[in-house]
Each structure stands twice: as C-alpha cells, then as structure tokens.
C-alpha cells in the first residue's frame, strides 16, 4: 500500500541521514584540525576530503552536521562533538538545543557559560565568550555581514575593520538579543531582551533598545559561577 511505501522511504531516509553524519563527522574533525593548525601539512592533507565534499554541497554539509548535533539529547555529547570539530570549550559549559555554530574552530567559550536554545554563534571572524556568561534563548551573534554600500554586496575586509566579537565574564544577553560584528561586551554587562547591540558595551552596563543604549548599571560584586547542570535527557 501507499502507506507502507511511505514508511519504508521514511525509514531509509532516516538511516541515510545518520549514515552520512557518522561518515562525514570524522572528515570535519580533520577540517577543524587544519583550521586550528594551518602550518601542519598532515592536517592539511586530512582536510582535503571534507573540503571536496563541502565544495560539492556548497558548504551545506557542515551546517547540516551542526544542526543534527544540536538536537542530540545529551548536553555532554553535544559539547564533546562541538569540541571534536575544533571549538575551544572549557568545562561545565552548557549548550541547549539547536545551537548553530559557524566556523567552530574559531569559537572560544569559557567555563560555566550557558548557551540558550536556538543560538546562532557565528565565529567566522572569531568569537570569544568568557566564563559564566549567560545567553538566553534565540540570541544571535554575528562576526560577518554584507556591506549595503558595496556595489557587489560584498562583506567588509576583516583587515580593514574589526569583525570579531568578544563577550567578557558574567555578561548576560537576554532573549532575542542580536550582536553585530566588531562588538565588545564588557564584564558583567546586561543586554536586555530584544536589543540590537551595534557598539561596545561598558563593563556592568545595562543596555536596551534598537540600537542598544545604556539605561542603567549592574552591581559590581558578582560572585556566581554556573555549575554546568541543566535540564536534559542526559
């Protein structure tokens, strides 16, 4: 019957998806090693298979892989797999579901930091997040964007303009915050829900709005440290 055929096709596609992920992940590990050690000829050789496949898939394979890692029901396994792809992640860091990481080898996350659901961590030009930072749900951080003034809609040259993002210890980014390229968020700063951060934020400042502006200050006696415990299947 049609229902039986549909179920067979669905099961086959499910198996094929995980076969691809299991086979492609080691290749992307090699790619991550090369990105972190570009002078090493052995790692460069390891990166070739992943590069060829990514060229064929228009660099969709890595994003597909990251998405499927992000829905694995284990915070420990997700963190381990991200580290395998080259991300620099300290202990007790927590990644909730559906984190999208771009260029994980350029991502640095400190101890105890919490990444909320549906985060976009664009590390293509470097993303450094300190210790005990809290990202609420739907936070998006970008280190690269198009230039609307460019006749070819290209991206700014990182050599001419700082594009990396740095977020210092114990900063708190509320739900739906957007951080644009080149921003430095100081220690203990708070970015209120829904704000768009276009400029540097002073330590312990509270900013809100579009674009984000200072509306207050946070106490400078912060002592909390996140312990890495979170809701989970495991």
**Do residue 176 and residue 95 come from a single domain?**
yes
**Catalytic (active site) residue 108:** no
Q: In what order do the strands lie in the sheet with 196-197?
A: 100-102, 120-122, 140-141, 178-179, 196-197
- Tell me, yes or no, whether 63 and 114 share the same domain: no
| CA 24 – CA 29 distance, rounded (Å) | 9
Q: Which residues, 6+ apart, have CB-to-CB distance to 78 below 8 Å?
A: 69, 70, 72, 95, 99
Under a CB-based contact definition with an 8 Å cutoff, are residues 125 and 145 in contact?
Answer: no
Same domain? 118 vs 170: yes
In a domain, 75, yes or no: no
Looking at residue 185, the DSSP 8-state letter turns out to be E
Question: Is the residue at 136 inside a domain?
Answer: yes
Are residues 66 and 95 part of one domain? Answer: no
Both 35 and 149 in a single domain? no
Distance CA 188, CA 218 (A): 7
Q: Around 196, how many Cα atoms within 13 Å sit in the side-chain half-sphere? A: 4
Answer with the one of 22, 44, 70 that is the final residue of a domain: 70
DSSP code, position 55: H
Q: What is the pLDDT along the chain (234 residues), one digit of tens a residue?
A: 788 888 888 888 878 889 999 999 999 999 999 999 999 999 999 999 999 999 999 999 999 999 999 999 999 999 999 999 999 999 899 999 999 999 999 999 999 999 999 999 999 999 999 999 999 999 999 999 998 888 999 998 888 889 999 999 999 999 999 999 999 999 999 999 999 999 999 999 999 999 999 999 999 999 999 998 877 655
Catalytic residue among 108, 146, 148, 184: 146
Quote the domain boundaries for residue 181.
Answer: 87-221
Q: How far apart are the first and last CA of the chain?
A: 39
Entry pTM: 0.91
100 and 209 both lie in a single domain: yes
CB within 8 Å of 40: residues ≥ 6 apart: 33, 34
Q: What's the CATH code of the domain at 147? A: 2.160.10.10
The residue from 44, 70, 96 where one domain ends is 70
Domain boundary residue among 39, 70, 101? Answer: 70
């Amino acid at each position: 019957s049609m229902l039986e055929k549909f179920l067979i096709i669905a099961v086959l596609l499910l198996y094929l998806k995980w076969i691809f992920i299991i086979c492609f992940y080691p290749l992307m590990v090699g790619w991550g090693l090369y990105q972190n050690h570009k002078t090493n000829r052995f790692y460069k050789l390891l990166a070739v298979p992943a590069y060829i496949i990514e060229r064929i898939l228009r660099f969709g394979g890595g994003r597909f892989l990251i998405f499927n890692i992000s829905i694995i029901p284990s915070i420990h396994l997700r963190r381990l797999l991200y580290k395998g792809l080259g991300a620099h992640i300290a202990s007790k860091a927590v990644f909730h579901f559906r984190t999208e990481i771009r260029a994980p080898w350029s991502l640095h996350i400190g101890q105890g930091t919490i990444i909320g659901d549906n985060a976009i961590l664009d590390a293509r030009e470097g993303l450094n997040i300190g210790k005990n930072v809290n990202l609420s749900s739907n936070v998006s951080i970008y280190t690269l964007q198009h230039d609307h003034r460019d006749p070819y809609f290209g991206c700014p040259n990182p050599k001419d303009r700082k594009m990396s993002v740095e977020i210092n210890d114990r900063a708190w980014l509320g739900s739906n915050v957007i951080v644009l390229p080149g921003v430095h968020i100081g220690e203990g700063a708070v970015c209120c829900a829904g704000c768009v951060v276009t400029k540097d934020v002073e330590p312990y400042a509270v900013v809100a709005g579009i674009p984000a502006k200072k509306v207050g200050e946070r106490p400078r006696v912060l002592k909390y440290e996140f312990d890495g415990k979170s809701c989970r299947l495991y």
